[in-house]
């Protein structure tokens, strides 16, 4: 269901982004990356918040099934985070001719988050499975969503300081109706995609766990 | 194709490629799970025979 | 009141342990001075004053990591942490006591590092001292919690910097800002905000890291 | 005092304790026996609250401050002296008349002379004696003792025998040992883990 919705919405969204929306006044054709880059980034945030919500539920109820759910959500968040970095890098290349720029807030923030959540995986791999690992991972996932606004603030503060040149897109300006519709469809599509992947991955991880239990019981 | 068009297309293709890569990795995982289930079924069958 | 008494008991124990074994603070002092000397050679001739302040903050972060990797060694050796966790004291008191000890060790390192920096590189302003003080609290708050996590893992000392560095990037931004910007107040305010947010978060979540 | 229903604990996929039912009333003595790796220490850590069950339920009707837990490790700082360690725990447990109580225990367990020496210099037996002092310091209602005789010499064994003899019937005791002979006559409940 979710997968079908994701496929449909994304196909529709991409067609809209390529064939329906008019070129942006200043940026021209290259502005169309917006319709994939920003929805993917917002979806990554959504995944991280979902992970933190599940982490909070785990610490609240001590119900161990939330551990796998939180872990899977972080996993999806990192996939979408990497996509944000790559599409953002391409956007930087078309706009300013460089593959990386420290003056693009979103991009820098995602680099910090990527490092942070990579350490989450290191933490999980380095602790034996059990309730202790579940609650430590949950605490770390919670720190992640607090780090997002704090880092964002820090990056804004740093901009004026270290890299005084600030580039601007015209996406910050008001979006036209057609732009808004295209963006909405694409965002719904990436969200549905993340949801479908999340459900799939969660089932797979649970299956893995059950199988090892079965193996233990049989041996 | 202008260079802007190429880059925009590339951005969308990257997303597609990552999703496809995920599907491929998942296919490998599925086949591993299938093999493991097979092994466990075999193990269970042998245990049952031993008991009988 | 009993809470504060517990915190005092635990913090005093950490200071006593350090006084007895003297293995963390001397290492931190030596490390921070060595780092400054290395940075002198890492900076190209004619590099700006701003660059020197940036390197000072890098040196402080790594010194904090050095101290934090030792934070739970005494507890880990003989599973003493289990003994403390079982005691009727609130578990957050263990975090607070340890964080106070870490701040004390960092302060000692900084008392040496800042004059050394002033001697080797650039003058030290009051804003910089305030920023370093605020940053030490942030390092200790977040670092103590993460050190407890790292101590429970197999990777141990290896894991701590990986967990710690992404979380303290905002401290570095605030610290460098307070050192070189025209309006350091904004950056000091940001550091105070960081301390407040992450101290509360670490204080509230420490229990979940040391219990099941 | 302790009641377990379908209690289980796994470490990863390895299930150390499975489907354990247990009822222990106040002032009883539970003797837990079994070979190495059978889950004795895990059961005691579960009762102490250090570990959480992964299956089933476990209720322990004693507050954290009323439990005394003797582990494999003595749970004391190696770089502190015997006196400093006991003082730390005495403060945390809010033991009334702390100094007198600590002095009495150190005297009884033959550690008075060594009270100002670092634990790192102690022999295994002395560390076990100190661990016993730490466990008994706050006069707990529920005592969880994991191999309490480990490392003790004849003198230490006799001291512990006398101590346990005095505690039986007035406190709830859970004793884990791979050598069941010693405490067998006093046990009111026995649990053999496989």
Q: Could you tell me if C19 lies within 8 Å of chain D, comparing CB atoms?
A: no
Q: Is C185 on the interface with A (CB under 8 A)?
A: no
Percent of chain C predicted with pLDDT > 70: 100
Rounded Cα–Cα distance for residues B10 and C58 (Å): 38
Q: Do C201 and A153 touch (CB under 8 A)?
A: no
The predicted pLDDT at position A167 comes to 46
Distance from CA of D91 to the nearest CA of A (A): 28
As a whole number of angstroms, the distance between CA A191 and CA A197 comes to 10
Angle at C34 between CA C28 and CA C38, to 5 degrees: 140
Considering only CB atoms, A122 lies closest to which of C162, C208, C209, namely C162
What's residue A162's pLDDT? Answer: 53
Residue-level pLDDT at C50? 83
CA of D79: which chain C residue's CA is closest?
C17
Per-residue model confidence (pLDDT) at position A166: 41
Mean pLDDT of C135-145: 97
Check residue A18 and report its DSSP letter: I
Cβ contact, residue pair A29, B19, below 8 Å: no
What is the distance in angstroms between the Cα of D92 and the nearest Cα belonging to chain C? 6
Interface touch D13/A216, C-beta < 8 Å:
yes
Q: Distance (Å, rounded) from C-alpha C205 to C-alpha C193?
A: 18
Domain-wise residue ranges, chain A: 2-218
Indicate yes or no: pTM above 0.90.
yes
Q: A144-183 pLDDT, tens per residue?
A: 999 999 999 998 888 766 544 444 554 455 677 888 888 8
Kind of pairing, strands D2-11 and D67-70?
unpaired
Selecting from A131, A150, A157 the residue whose C-beta is nearest the C-beta of C212 gives A131
**D contacts of C86 (beta carbons < 8 Å):** 48-50, 64, 67, 69
* CA terminus-to-terminus distance, chain A: 38
The reported pLDDT for the residue numbered A182 is: 86
- Write the CA distances from C9 to C6, C103, D91, integer angstroms: 5, 16, 7
The CA distance from C147 to C69, in Å, is 6
Beta-bridged to residue D173, according to DSSP, are D29, D143
Of D65, D73, D79, the CB nearest to C88: D65
Lowest-confidence pick of A56-60, C47-51, C108-112, D180-184: D180-184
Which site among A130, A136, A213 would you substitute to test the D interface, given the most D Cβ atoms closer than 10 Å to its Cβ? A130
What pLDDT is attached to residue D179? 75
- Give the three-class secondary structure for A163: coil
Which of C100, C116, C141 is closest to C6 using CA atoms? C100
Task: Identify the closest residue of chain A to C187 by CA–CA distance.
Answer: A157
**Could you give the number of structural domains in chain B?**
1
- Highest-confidence range of B9-18, C15-24, C140-149, D166-175, by mean pLDDT? C140-149
Phi and psi at D80, nearest 5°, equal -100, 160
Q: How is chain C split into domains, by residue range?
A: 2-210
Chains that touch C (3 or more CB pairs under 8 A): A, D
Interface test with C, best of A124, A135, A139 (most C CBs within 10 A): A139
Dihedral of alpha carbons D183, D184, D186, D192, sign: positive
Query: What is the pLDDT averaged over residues D94-111?
Result: 94
Give strand pairing partners of D8.
D55
DSSP string, A136-157: HHHHHHHHHHHHHHHHHHHHHH
Which has more pLDDT, C11 or D35?
A: C11
Give chains near B: 3+ CB pairs under 8 A: A
List phi, psi (to 5°) of B3: -65, -35
Report if residue B47 sits inside a domain: yes
**C102–chain D Cβ distance below 8 A for any pair:** no
pLDDT bracket for residue A8 (50, 70, 90): confident
User: Which residue among D76, D92, D118 places its CB closest to the CB of C87?
Assistant: D92
Cβ-defined contact of A216 to D11 (cutoff 8 Å) = no
Rounded distance between C-alpha atoms, residue A193 and residue A187, angstroms: 10
Residue D73 in contact with partner chain C when CB distance is under 8 A: yes
> From CA B7, how far away is CA D41, in angstroms rounded?
62
Give the phi and the psi of residue C205 in degrees, each rounded to 5.
Answer: -105, -5
Distance CA C39, CA C57 (A): 11
- Identify which of D11, D13, D54 has the shortest CB distance to residue A212: D13
Q: What's the token pair of residue D105?
A: 């225990």
Is residue D68 over pLDDT 90? Answer: yes
Which chain A residues are closer than 8 Å to D14 by Cβ? 216
D92 touches C at CB < 8 Å: yes
Tokens of B28: 């490998």
Q: Which domain holds residue B25?
A: 19-52
pLDDT at A179: 81
With contact defined as beta carbons under 8 Å apart, do A40 and A84 qualify? yes
Edge-to-edge strand list for the sheet holding D2-11: D14-24, D2-11, D55-60
Chain D: give the shortest CA distance to residue C168, in Å.
31
CB contact under 8 A, A212 and D15: no
- Residue D101 tokens read as 């109580």
What is the distance in angstroms between the Cα of C106 and the nearest Cα belonging to chain A? 23
Domain contains B24: yes
In a domain, B42, yes or no: yes
Q: With pLDDT > 90 as the criterion, what percentage of chain A qualifies?
A: 51
C174 CB within 8 Å of a chain A CB: yes
Find the mean pLDDT for residues C150-161: 91
Is pLDDT of C10 > 50? yes
Nearest Cα residue in chain A from D9: A130
For the beta sheet containing D172-177, the strands, ordered from the edge strand earlier in sequence to the opposite edge, are: D67-70, D142-146, D172-177, D29-33, D189-192
Q: Which tokens hold the place of A67?
A: 């551990």
Q: Do chains D and C touch (3 or more CB pairs under 8 A)?
A: yes
Interface test with A, best of B5, B9, B11 (most A CBs within 10 A): B11
For all residues of chain D together, what is the average pLDDT?
Answer: 91
Coil vs helix vs strand at C124: coil
Compare CB distances from A218 to B2, B30, B40 and report the shortest one's residue. Answer: B40
CA A143/CA C200 separation, integer angstroms: 11
Question: Which of B10, B12, B33 is closest, CB to CB, to A207?
Answer: B33
Q: Could you give the CA distance from residue C114 to residue C119 in angstroms, rounded to a whole number? A: 9
pLDDT at D136: 95
Rounded to 10 degrees, what is the CA torsion of A34, A37, A38, A43?
150
Chain A neighbors (3+ CB pairs < 8 Å): B, C, D
Q: What is the pLDDT of residues D128-137, one digit of tens each?
A: 999 999 999 9
By mean pLDDT, which of A203-207, C3-7, C23-27, D11-15 is the weakest?
A: D11-15
- Supply the pLDDT for residue A173: 55
Would you call A150 exposed, middle or buried from its count of C-beta atoms within 10 A (0-12, 13-18, 19+)? Answer: buried
Residue B50 lies in a domain: yes
With the CA atoms of C182, C185, C187 and C192 taken in that order, what torsion angle do they form, in degrees rounded to the nearest 10? 170
Quick one: average pLDDT of D118-139? Answer: 94
CA distance C129 to C175: 10
**Alpha carbon A16 to its chain's center:** 23
CA neighbor of D66 nearest in space, from D86, D49, D42: D49
Tell me which H or E stretch contains D174: strand D172-177
CB atoms within 10 A of CB C183: 11
Residue from D101, D92, D93, D2 nearest D44 by CA: D2
Segment A26-35, tens digit of pLDDT: 667 777 888 8
Q: What is the DSSP letter of D37?
A: T
Task: Please compute the mean of the pLDDT values over residues C204-211 and round it to a whole number.
Answer: 94
CA separation for the pair D5, D21 (Å, rounded): 5
Tell me the C-alpha to C-alpha distance, in Å, between residue C165 and each of A143, C58, C185, D55.
13, 11, 24, 37
Please, are residues A55 and A142 in contact by the beta-carbon 8 Å criterion?
Answer: yes
The per-residue pLDDT for A46 is 96
The beta-carbon neighbor of D78 closest among C6, C78, C83 is C78
Of how many residues is chain A composed? 219
Q: Is the pLDDT of residue B28 over 70?
A: yes
Out of A116, A123, A126, whose CB is closest to C167?
A: A116
Min CA distance, C194 vs chain A (Å)? 7
CA distance D49 to chain A (A): 13
Q: Answer whether A87 sits within 8 Å of B15, measured CB to CB.
A: yes
Q: Which of the residues D66, D75, D134 would you substitute to probe the C interface, choosing the one with the greatest number of C C-beta atoms within 10 Å? A: D75
Nearest Cα residue in chain B from A92: B7
Q: Quote the pLDDT of residue A163.
A: 46
Mean residue pLDDT of chain A comes to 86
The pLDDT tens digits of the residues spanning C89-136 come to 999 999 999 999 999 999 999 999 999 999 988 889 999 999 999 999
Query: Phi then psi for D23, rounded to 5 degrees?
Result: -130, 125
- Return the DSSP state at D50: S
Instruction: Give the model confidence (pLDDT) of C45-100 as tens digits.
Output: 777 888 889 999 999 999 999 999 999 999 988 889 999 999 999 999 999 999 99
* CA distance, residue A219 to nearest chain D CA (Å): 11
| Structure confidence at residue B9 as a pLDDT band (50, 70, 90) | confident
Contact of C176 with chain A, judged by CB distance below 8 Å, is answered with yes
């Amino acid at each position: 269901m979710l997968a079908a919705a994701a496929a449909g919405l994304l196909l529709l969204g991409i067609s809209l982004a390529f064939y329906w929306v008019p070129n942006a006044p200043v940026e021209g054709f290259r502005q169309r990356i917006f319709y994939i880059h920003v929805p993917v980034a917002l979806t990554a945030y959504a995944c991280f918040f979902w992970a933190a919500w599940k982490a909070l539920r785990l610490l609240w109820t001590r119900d161990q099934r939330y551990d796998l759910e939180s872990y899977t959500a972080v996993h999806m968040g990192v996939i979408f985070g990497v996509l944000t970095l790559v599409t953002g890098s391409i956007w930087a290349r078309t706009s300013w001719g460089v593959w990386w720029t420290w003056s693009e807030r979103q991009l820098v923030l995602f680099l910090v988050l990527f490092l942070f959540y990579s350490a989450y995986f290191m933490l999980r791999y380095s602790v034996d499975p059990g309730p202790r690992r579940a609650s430590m991972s949950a605490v770390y996932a919670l720190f992640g969503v607090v780090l997002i606004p704090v880092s964002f603030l820090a990056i804004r503060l740093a901009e004026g300081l270290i890299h005084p040149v600030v580039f601007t897109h015209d996406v910050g300006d008001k979006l036209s109706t057609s732009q808004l519709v295209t963006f909405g469809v694409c965002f719904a599509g990436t969200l549905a995609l993340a949801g479908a992947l999340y459900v799939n991955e969660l089932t797979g991880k649970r299956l893995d766990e059950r199988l090892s239990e079965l193996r233990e019981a049989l041996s | 194709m202008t260079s802007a068009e190429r880059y925009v297309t590339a951005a969308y293709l990257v997303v597609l490629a990552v999703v496809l890569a995920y599907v491929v990795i998942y296919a490998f995982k599925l086949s591993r799970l299938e093999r493991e289930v097979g092994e466990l079924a075999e193990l269970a069958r042998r245990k049952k025979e031993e008991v009988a | 009141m009993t809470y504060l008494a517990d915190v005092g008991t635990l913090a005093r124990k950490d200071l006593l342990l350090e006084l007895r074994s003297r293995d963390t603070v001397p290492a931190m002092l030596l490390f921070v001075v060595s780092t400054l000397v290395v940075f002198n050679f890492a900076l190209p001739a004619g590099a700006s004053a701003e660059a020197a302040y940036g390197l000072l903050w890098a040196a402080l972060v790594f010194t904090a990591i050095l101290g934090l990797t030792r934070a739970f060694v005494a507890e880990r050796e003989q599973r003493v942490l289990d003994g403390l966790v079982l005691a009727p004291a609130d578990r957050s008191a263990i975090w607070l006591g340890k964080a106070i000890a870490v701040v004390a060790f960092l302060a000692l390192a900084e008392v040496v590092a800042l004059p050394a920096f002033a001697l080797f590189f650039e003058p030290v302003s009051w804003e910089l001292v305030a920023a370093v003080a605020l940053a030490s609290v942030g390092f200790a708050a977040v670092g103590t919690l993460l050190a407890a996590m790292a101590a429970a893992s197999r990777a141990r000392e290896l894991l701590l910097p990986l967990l710690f560095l992404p979380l303290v990037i905002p401290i570095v931004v605030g610290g460098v800002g307070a050192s070189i910007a025209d309006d350091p107040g904004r950056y000091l305010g940001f550091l105070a905000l960081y301390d407040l947010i992450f101290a509360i978060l670490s204080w509230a979540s420490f229990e979940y890291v040391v219990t099941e | 005092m302790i009641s377990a229903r379908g209690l289980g604990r796994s470490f990863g996929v390895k299930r150390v304790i499975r489907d354990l039912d247990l009822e222990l009333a106040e002032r009883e003595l539970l003797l837990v026996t079994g070979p190495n790796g059978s889950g004795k220490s895990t059961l005691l850590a579960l009762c102490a609250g250090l570990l959480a069950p992964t299956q089933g339920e476990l209720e322990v009707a004693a507050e954290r401050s009323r439990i005394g837990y003797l582990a494999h490790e003595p749970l004391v700082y190696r770089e502190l002296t015997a006196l400093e360690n006991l003082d730390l725990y005495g403060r945390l447990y809010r033991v009334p008349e702390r100094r007198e109580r600590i002095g009495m225990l150190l005297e009884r367990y033959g550690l008075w002379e060594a009270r100002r020496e670092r634990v790192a210099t102690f022999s295994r037996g002395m560390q076990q004696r100190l661990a016993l002092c730490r466990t008994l310091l706050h006069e707990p209602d529920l005592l969880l003792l994991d191999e309490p005789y480990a490392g003790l010499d004849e003198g230490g064994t006799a001291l512990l025998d006398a101590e346990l003899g005095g505690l039986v019937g007035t406190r709830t005791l859970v004793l884990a040992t791979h050598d069941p002979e010693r405490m067998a006559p006093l046990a009111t409940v026995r649990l053999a883990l496989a």
